Amino acid sequence: MSPWARWWRRDAADSEDADVTARGPVQFGAVTGVFTPTLLTILGVIMYVRLPWVVGNAGLLGAWLIMALAIGITACTGLSLSSIATNTRIGAGGPYAIVHRSLGVEVGGSIGIPLYLTRPLGTAMYIFGFREGWQWIFPQHPSIAIDLAVFAVIFMLAYRGADIAFRVQYLIMGVVGLSIASILLSPELSEGTRPVTWWGSFEGFPEDGFTGVSPWLVFAIFFPATTGILAGANMSGELKDPRRAIPRGTIWALVVSSVIYFLIAWVAARVATPGELRSDYNILIDAALIPGVVLAGLLGATFSSALAGCVGGPRILMAMAQHRILPQSPWLARLAPDGEPRNAVVVTMGLTFAALMLRDLNAIAPLLTMFFLITYSVINVVLLLETSLGLVSFRPTLRMPRVVPLLGTVGGIFAMFIINPTFGLVSVSVVVAIYAWVLRLKLSSDGDSVRSNIFVSIAEWAAAKVTELERTNVRAWKPQLLIPFRDPAEIRGDFPLIVDICKPEGSVKLLGLTSDPTEQDLLARTDRLASAFRRKGVFATKTVVEAESYAQGVSTGLQALQGAFFKPNILLLNTSEDAATRRELRVLLAQARKTGVGGMVLSRHRKAGLGVNSAIQVWVRDPPMRDLDSAFNSNNLNLSLLMGYRLAQAWDADLTLISVVAEESEAAPAEAFLRDLAEVARLPRRTTFLTPVGRFPEVIAKAPPSDLGIFGISVDPDFDLLERVTLLARSSCLFVADSGRESARA
């Protein structure tokens, strides 16, 4: 049996479309919940009053090509939607649920809110369309009375529940079916064969005197007819088996509606001349076997589309409220005892009433189509990513070749800017603005819904590609600190400095050390510290290592992290007065250098701390011959300059380069060298330069005050000397050792 037949075959459990129980909401099958509302929404006003105009302008072959393009874009989206639905149970909200589960709550909200707004606004427009058809029969009836009467009936049906609304839709589908039969059995078809015009002259609208129209404008007029494929998917939360119902109902609605559209286009080409088709929007009604039935079908189609919007829209609103995207979310997400989202229905109908009171929505009608097209494109993108990344969790029973979502994505974007480029840009801007707003809410969600495995797989794919390349790209260097500690409290005083060094693109790797294998508190406290860094915008990871000694634990961490994709490039340590600890620090600095990791030793001034973060001094050893190449290749200059630059930017501080010279005659050449150094390293223009004469201890004691001094050190430093320098400088000091893999000239 073919896959298509298997999907359509109904189990005994699905023999009834509605399952009414006392304990839960009505649940629907493929026919009632998906096929019927989707088909009725597609077979709308355009089929009755605009399809003949399309044939009159484009000719039968041209109309078929335009219809094939529009239906093809929609069909790709329908197939993508169906494939995704067969992989996982879609929750309430239909397309919103798909995007939310795959791309996160932010993208889901940015798509879901505009998609929801199309429901009440679209409902108002369908009510206006119903009124125009009604007044064609009863022109004396006032417009506002018709609008309010139809609104009241729709409100009553939607508030009562989806089961009542869908029963009404069966009646409407019967009327629409009779109207289509009346068109296909037109007496004009038996009165003789008119010559079919296969390719039209695109003469345009009767309203502007047939001044001409482009094929793309004809496409833009027809395309909204195909935007009803999401009507059934919106009911995903109330389907008995969404994995089967959505693909089965959506695909068959597409097939049936496409056949009907192509047949009616053929009938239109046979019953009237191109001129008559262009001039008379009611040609199908006049040519039908029973014109009154066609008019009833037109009224039924508009009423059904309005009803579908008021039934499906509240489900999208409720789903977004469940994820706390909207104000008053708990109230909006509340369900009645029978499972109906009546609070969401009330809000949706309130928005519909407000739209009705505007009396004219034609100006924003193109925007509604744009929101549909953006949703279509995103659904196709989801399937394209899932298919391309080969996730083991993506095992749909209905597999689509990659070209299907690719064509759907490209086609959706193409249609958006063909139909109306201005509204296309406006709609994209609205979606981006909503995304930024939802992002600021800092929402969370359960499981993988906030950041799905799609993003994880993209990162893994990128990591695999990068590891095949040269890892020592000095232009891509950024501080990735490894910070070891026995107690997270040791980092508390250094926290602001670490944030300033790493933010925004750097990272922190926290390495907790313990000799107690039963230690649990350290892991929890380390996790809280990592969270604190992330709240400050610094990417932080953490691990806890069991080791007998401090040096052994850090050495193990250094070696293990060499295989990591984001391996550390700086080991941050603190000075100590303990002789044993100092020996361990020397071992670790040497170990870091062997593994290609730079070293930084922070020596805090007991009284000054980091001062007011307004002045930074980088002490540069005067190299022989003052050659730039030799200076950058020795003296630990690269990391010193990079740290000075980053902290000066973070603090908006004054940066000073200082080089001590032995004689007065060397001061000017040394300053020139420092200026060349600053130019090559692209340091801030307000950087200042000092070249004091004398011995280093005396000079540092007399130097202008600063908040942080940065000095180069060897991998075997004299910690007594470091303490003495800190006291002489009257400020905290950062002693750095290059790894050989960073460059201030890059």
Bigger pLDDT: 630 vs 498: 498
473 pLDDT band, cuts 50/70/90, is low
Strand, coil or helix: 600: strand
The neighbour count for residue 209, using CB atoms within 10 Å, is 9
pLDDT digits (tens, 9 = 90+) for 248-262: 888 888 899 999 999
Give the range with max mean pLDDT: 352-361, 368-377, 433-442, 705-714: 705-714
Cα-based angle 574, 575, 579 (whole degrees, multiple of 5): 130
End-to-end, the C-alpha distance of the chain in Å comes to 64
The yes-or-no verdict on residue 204 having pLDDT over 80 is: no
Bigger pLDDT: 358 vs 619: 619
Least confident of 256-265, 307-316, 340-349: 307-316
Helix 403-419 and helix 215-222, axial crossing angle in degrees, nearest 10: 110
Give the pLDDT of residue 70: 87
Bigger pLDDT: 693 vs 1: 693
The yes-or-no verdict on residue 611 having pLDDT over 60 is: yes
Span 563-567, average pLDDT: 69
The neighbour count for residue 422, using CB atoms within 10 Å, is 11
467 pLDDT band, cuts 50/70/90, is low
pLDDT digits (tens, 9 = 90+) for 411-436: 888 888 887 788 788 888 888 888 78
Give the range with max mean pLDDT: 22-31, 203-212, 509-518: 509-518
The yes-or-no verdict on residue 363 having pLDDT over 70 is: no
CA distance 56 to 399: 39
Q: What's the per-residue H, E or C state across 487-525?
A: CHHHHHHHHHHHHHHHCCCCEEEEEEEECCCCCCHHHHH
- Decide: 432 and 114 in contact? Cβ < 8 Å: no
Give the pLDDT of residue 618: 94
Span 699-704, average pLDDT: 91
Bigger pLDDT: 633 vs 350: 350
Bigger pLDDT: 203 vs 389: 203
Cα-based angle 291, 292, 295 (whole degrees, multiple of 5): 90
Span 484-502, average pLDDT: 89
Give the pLDDT of residue 497: 92
CA distance 440 to 435: 9
pLDDT digits (tens, 9 = 90+) for 91-106: 676 677 777 776 677 7
Span 276-290, average pLDDT: 84
The yes-or-no verdict on residue 302 having pLDDT over 80 is: yes
Least confident of 12-16, 503-507, 562-566, 592-596: 12-16
The yes-or-no verdict on residue 4 having pLDDT over 50 is: no
Domains of the chain, earliest start first: 3-378+411-440 (1.20.1740.10), 471-603 (3.40.50.620), 604-746 (3.40.50.620)
The yes-or-no verdict on residue 688 having pLDDT over 90 is: yes
pLDDT digits (tens, 9 = 90+) for 518-560: 667 888 888 999 999 999 989 898 888 888 888 888 888 888 7
Distances from the Cα of 162 to the Cαs of 309, 315, 340, 473, 604, in angstroms?
11, 10, 8, 60, 69
